[in-house]
Amino acid sequence: MIIEDQTVEVKVWDHNDAVIFVYESVHEKTGEVHESGVPVWHSYKQVVTAIPVDFTYDENLSDDDKLEKVRNAADALSQLYSHAGDYEMGVSYYINHNPYINS
């Protein structure tokens, strides 16, 4: 099996119930120097993967149940990526609490 570097597009919609992000914190020198003589750094988070989560209406899950499932998945990803070695990794999520309040 050969694994090649590639970029994969993940669709995340405004109607997803939740989205979990795994990201790498990146710190790069800009080449500029501050007036104090210290190099200027640019820091940002680069998304490694995004996982959209949807729950069906048939499941009758409470908001607390949904939050617990998303947190459990985020915690599992945190444990998995905690062994990423030289990379500063992070996991975050958002819950799309009430996307259709005026429908």
- Supply the pTM of this predicted model: 0.76
Residue 8 tokens, joined: 């994969």
Q: Where are the beta strands (DSSP E) in 3-99?
A: 18-33, 39-53, 88-95
User: CA quadruple 96, 9, 89, 74: dihedral positive or negative?
Assistant: positive
Single-letter code of the amino acid located at 6: Q
Beta bridge partners of 92: 21
Per-residue model confidence as pLDDT tens digits over 49-69: 899 999 887 778 888 999 999
pLDDT bucket at 99, cuts 50 / 70 / 90:
low
Question: Residue 79 CB: number of other CB atoms within 10 A?
Answer: 10
